[in-house]
Structure 1
């Protein structure tokens, strides 16, 4: 196949096939929306996807990183493999009107529409399967959202998970080793354009900090205590004092809470827990912001003489889409929706584990309209499943067609262009899938660490503080 007319005919067949599956695609979007499940617990949603793949007679694997479901459609010719993804999980948001009354889970980010667009794309591409020079993987992935972290940490310690979020865990397990590029379409909030293409996102690090002091009677003998709460509040003030030192272009965000601030007002608090989320646009900016927070924690410990134990975990790497995939998507979106309805993306302060996947392969992540309200809030809800799920199924399938027709020339060109070098000067094309995965693991490992800082330990020359590092 080489003419534009032939490609147009293939895309017409894809669109007609998606339309024939219209009712089922819309129903799966609404069904998953009505039955939200949080990350690594998405058993019902995964079963729905598995049933769809069974009906299409696609071979698939289940139970990847607990709940992931991965199917493969074999093309008529050999070539690269393109993945269409859908995220399975919901948020914890008990105040949402569609929240599960038992768990508090709610689809306040629109992932259910991704599941529908993924299976809709599968229905469309099945009609032209023999004309694709390469395979298509349809992958329902777990746990994009960063929720229930204490439980997830227990799963990591038990060896059941390797990372706290889904795509990072799947990468570590080699589940993406046989895929060359990946895409999904995410819903945006109220007032969003019909489609934005090329958005980027912050990376994210989570720090769990435990301040430990000494309890005493708060009224009779407070001087006998070591106040962990005041240590934590000083650390929060020191974090806040850093804010105007962050460069605007780095889009740094630092947010902290105190889940546990003492046991009773009648006792000097001897144990306080603090959780900090640090976001930034680049890996370098993320490291600098983490260092600033670490200094603030140590300052609070020194001021009151507490110990501060910090566990640092990289949640998401910064997300930057492949520019060639972005342009390919833009061209298809303008054909589908009209040029006036497609806008260039912008940098978003939120985070996604598509950033992790983008570290190991080219990725595409457009945003579609179809929802009302602000994401991650009780008023967020997909109300137009055609805009949020059905039409993105056509868009993603059309992108796959462009990538895999004509001997998959476009996919191969994008893979070559995306072969950026690692720290040793090696391009992606010079590394095996296992080597790319190892390099990714090393990058994450430079963030993950634990240490205990003793603010009461005064060394020679009056320098306060001693660090004892745990296992990285």
Structure 2
């Protein structure tokens, strides 16, 4: 069987499995689960894999699921990836009212696409034409939410890093993978049916707590230390740094106040905040992070409060592999016609696929099928052909391109790729980000714990 014939049969299989694939995507859409809590979604994935004759590994980084198809001949290992988790969007029409979880970013479509690719590869017995292995990997916790919950998992020894793929790297589940890819749904009306960036931002995360002194807000505010004022000054100080951020570094700092006080007639004694510090390179992120820390200390100093600054590792910047981008573009043309791929340069969001891309060749392209702004109440799958079936076909076709024959495609990708970090360097960097500083604004002294 030629490569083109195999790819055609894969696409036909996806079309035959349409109702099953769409059913998976729809079922996950109405049963959203937040990161590191995707137990029911993981169960659905494992059951589907086992239905098609695969042995599964479950409970990877709490909820991850893995199955492996072995090709007829030995060769490289290609991972096809889908993300299990949802966001928290409280006003989404399909929100879980108990948890606030909602699919407003398309991870339900990723899993539908991953399962569709698995079905088609199994249906066509594609492994008989491949040299190497295909790993179907459903991963937890890409959306970096509920940061305190994840921090507590780290403190409790259940995980060591706060993102799903990051933790899978740490646990060794990417050690035997040579090439990886996934496809993310998009709802951008300015983009064509498919899209791919050159790169995207990474970030570090921060949990911040200002501690003041309570007092009667009307009768004796002079006896208090207003932690909310300290936080407001710190936020303004962050804004004052923005002109120092170089455009080329794509810095994004977006703090929120998660607690602003207790009751209105008491001077706020405790105020908590969260923020990301995003940037195009790890050097730019660390530089901006130091400026944010300076702003936080300034807020505490201004009113004589204390500030606890806990910095946590986030995600590395994404670097899409150029050789794989070319392959994806060719498949986009086969599936959707010429001129249906948008190349968008650098993007300022973040993904833990960036961490994978620092170690091995990886690609994180986008495919239409959704409407409404991402991460909003209006986001939904509006075109199941593009949202569910398109990714299934594209993932499976890429696996064939990489491993068909003697795996010439994967070997070319690997030969042309220069890793940005070794696993040891990556873990040393991420684990080195952990830092807690307690700064006393009255005395100007700090205590630091790494």
Interval containing the TM-score (normalised by the shorter chain): over 0.9
Q: How many angstroms apart in 1 are the aligned matches of 2:181 and 2:320?
A: 10
Structure 2 equivalent of residue 90 of structure 1: 86
Structure 2 equivalent of residue 153 of structure 1: 151
Q: How many angstroms apart in 1 are the aligned matches of 2:37 and 2:225?
A: 41
Greater shift after overlay, 368-377 or 444-453? 444-453
Structure 2 equivalent of residue 32 of structure 1: 28
Normalising by structure 1, report the TM-score: 0.92
Structure 2 equivalent of residue 396 of structure 1: 395
Q: Which residue of 420, 424, 442 maps to 1:456?
A: 442
Structure 2 equivalent of residue 123 of structure 1: 119
Q: How many angstroms apart in 1 are the aligned matches of 2:101 and 2:151?
A: 19
1:30 and 1:385 in contact (8 A); partners too: no
1:208 and 2:196 aligned: no
Structure 2 equivalent of residue 18 of structure 1: 14
1:109 and 2:105 aligned: yes
Q: How many angstroms apart in 2 are the aligned matches of 1:225 and 1:30?
A: 53
Q: CA deviation at 1:227?
A: 2.1
Q: How many angstroms apart in 2 are the aligned matches of 1:440 and 1:83?
A: 20
Q: Following superposition, which runs of at least 4 residues in structure 1 exceed 4 angstroms of deviation? A: none
Cα–Cα, structure 1 residues 99 and 52, in superposed 2: closer, same or farther, change >3 Å?
same
1:189 and 1:373 in contact (8 A); partners too: yes
Structure 1 equivalent of residue 428 of structure 2: 442
Matched residue SS, 2:287: helix
2:214 and 2:269 in contact (8 A); partners too: yes
Q: CA deviation at 1:149?
A: 1.6
Cα–Cα, structure 1 residues 408 and 280, in superposed 2: closer, same or farther, change >3 Å?
same
Structure 1 equivalent of residue 176 of structure 2: 178
1:200 and 1:345 in contact (8 A); partners too: no
Matched residue SS, 1:388: helix
Matched residue SS, 2:407: helix
2:360 and 2:419 in contact (8 A); partners too: no
1:120-159 Cα shifts (integer Å, max 9, x gaps) = 1112222111110000000111111112222222111111
Q: How many angstroms apart in 2 are the aligned matches of 1:143 and 1:199?
A: 23
Cα–Cα, structure 1 residues 166 and 421, in superposed 2: closer, same or farther, change >3 Å?
closer
Greater shift after overlay, 413-422 or 382-391? 413-422
Q: CA deviation at 1:298?
A: 1.1
Q: CA deviation at 1:318?
A: 1.1
Q: Which residue of 66, 70, 73 maps to 2:69?
A: 73
Structure 1 equivalent of residue 325 of structure 2: 326
Matched residue SS, 1:101: coil
Q: How many angstroms apart in 2 are the aligned matches of 1:238 and 1:102?
A: 37
1:150-186 Cα shifts (integer Å, max 9, x gaps) = 2222111111121222111111111111111111111
Cα RMSD between the aligned structures?
1.5
Greater shift after overlay, 78-87 or 302-311? 302-311
Q: CA deviation at 1:190?
A: 4.3
Q: How many angstroms apart in 1 are the aligned matches of 2:50 and 2:429?
A: 38
Matched residue SS, 1:262: coil
Structure 2 equivalent of residue 460 of structure 1: none
1:224-250 Cα shifts (integer Å, max 9, x gaps) = 322222111111110011112111121
Q: How many angstroms apart in 2 are the aligned matches of 1:261 and 1:18?
A: 51
Is there any run of 5+ residues in structure 2 with no aligned partner, and where?
A: none
Q: How many angstroms apart in 1 are the aligned matches of 2:380 and 2:345?
A: 22
Q: After TM superposition, list the pairs within 5 Å mapping 1:302-321 onto structure 2.
A: 302-321=301-320
Q: After TM superposition, list the pairs within 5 Å mapping 1:206-285 onto structure 2.
A: 206-285=205-284
Structure 2 equivalent of residue 426 of structure 1: none
Cα–Cα, structure 1 residues 377 and 243, in superposed 2: closer, same or farther, change >3 Å?
same
Q: Which residue of 128, 142, 145 maps to 1:144?
A: 142
Is there any run of 5+ residues in structure 1 with no aligned partner, and where?
A: 423-435, 458-464
Q: CA deviation at 1:17?
A: 2.2
Matched residue SS, 2:255: strand
Q: CA deviation at 1:421?
A: 5.8
1:199 and 1:365 in contact (8 A); partners too: no
Q: CA deviation at 1:197?
A: 2.1
1:371 and 2:370 aligned: yes
Q: CA deviation at 1:419?
A: 2.7
Q: How many angstroms apart in 1 are the aligned matches of 2:100 and 2:441?
A: 40
Matched residue SS, 2:228: helix
Matched residue SS, 1:339: coil
Q: How many angstroms apart in 2 are the aligned matches of 1:360 and 1:179?
A: 10
1:199 and 1:366 in contact (8 A); partners too: no
Q: How many angstroms apart in 1 are the aligned matches of 2:145 and 2:316?
A: 17
Q: CA deviation at 1:94?
A: 2.1
Q: Which residue of 8, 13, 24 maps to 2:4?
A: 8
1:262-292 Cα shifts (integer Å, max 9, x gaps) = 2233332222112122111111111111011
1:94-118 Cα shifts (integer Å, max 9, x gaps) = 2111112322211100111110111
Normalising by structure 2, report the TM-score: 0.96
Q: How many angstroms apart in 2 are the aligned matches of 1:45 and 1:356?
A: 23
